[in-house]
Structure 1
């Protein structure tokens, strides 16, 4: 395109926006995955602790140990619930980042379509010009042939 600088600039800026939105989406997806892994680790730890305590409790256990166990399980359950809230917030951030990335992609696509249309229009103009020049050249050659035949 001979006059592609403005659209090229818009495409470059839109690509930068897409890249930034993609980085943001990737960052919040990684954060969500980290929070989810921590939640799964807490649940696994609570289940393992509960299983080992249940095994130990079968052979008899003082009431103090039982209270300590229950208090620790309550603490773990609180941490798990807090981690679930963090996971919900992280999921919300991911869901909020997706539409922004999609919007930026659509904007870039629109600019690319405009650029392609502009290039196609210029190609049609160039093809018409070349055809006109070829027709003019053929007409000139025909006139020259006729003139040479008359002389």
Structure 2
């Protein structure tokens, strides 16, 4: 019985580990998605701003406005590059969390296999015990009938 309780404890702890690893993986995946969305927003904004500037520049523009535009585009490009680095880091966190999640799932699966084997062994042992008891009962009944017939 102690072995059964120990295995149940291990399964419970392994389930907690799987839950924690699942939550962590989900969190880093959500974070990565948010970072990617922010990157796409920056890229879209840069493209729209560049298109508006190009359209306005066709009809003529002061040199100061061109310098301001270029400075702003440079700032946007720097932000986009920084966001790309953040995205790479977020992707690395996701890739690092996946093996941990898989390891915890595998560990839980191993414990569950052990539990199933333990239950099957206990059921087989009980079936043998039941068969032995049944055989003994039948043998006793036969002996009693036999002794009653000889009396």
Quote the residue 1:17 is aligned against. Answer: 17
- The equivalent of 1:97 in structure 2 is 97
How far apart are the structure 1 equivalents of 2:137 and 2:22?
A: 54
TM-score, normalising length from structure 1? Answer: 0.97
Structure 2 equivalent of residue 59 of structure 1: 59
Partner of 1:119: 119
How far apart are 1:4 and its partner, in Å?
A: 1.5
Distance 1:54 1:15 in 2: 58
TM-aligned CA deviation for residue 148 of structure 1: 1.7
Aligned twin of 2:34: 34
Cα root mean square deviation, aligned: 1.1
Structure 2 residue 142 is matched with structure 1 residue 146: no
Query: C-alpha displacement at 1:58, in angstroms?
Result: 1.1
Distance in 2, Cα, partners of 1:7 & 1:144: 46
What's the CA shift for 1:34?
0.7
| Rounded Cα–Cα distance in structure 1 between residues aligned with 2:65 and 2:37 | 30
Give how far 1:3 is off: 4.7
Q: Per-residue deviation at 1:2?
A: 7.6
In the TM superposition, residue 67 of structure 1 has moved relative to its aligned partner by: 1.1
Runs (5+) with no aligned partner, structure 2: none
Task: Report Cα offsets for 1:88-144 as digits up to 9, x if no partner.
Answer: 000000000000010011111111111111111111100000000000011111111
What SS does structure 2 have at the residue aligned with 1:26?
helix
- Distance in 2 (CA, whole Å) between partners of 1:54 and 1:138 is 100
1:110 corresponds in structure 2 to 110
TM-score (norm 2): 0.97
Tell me by how many angstroms 1:63 deviates. 1.2
Q: Residue 73 of structure 2 aligns with which residue?
A: 73
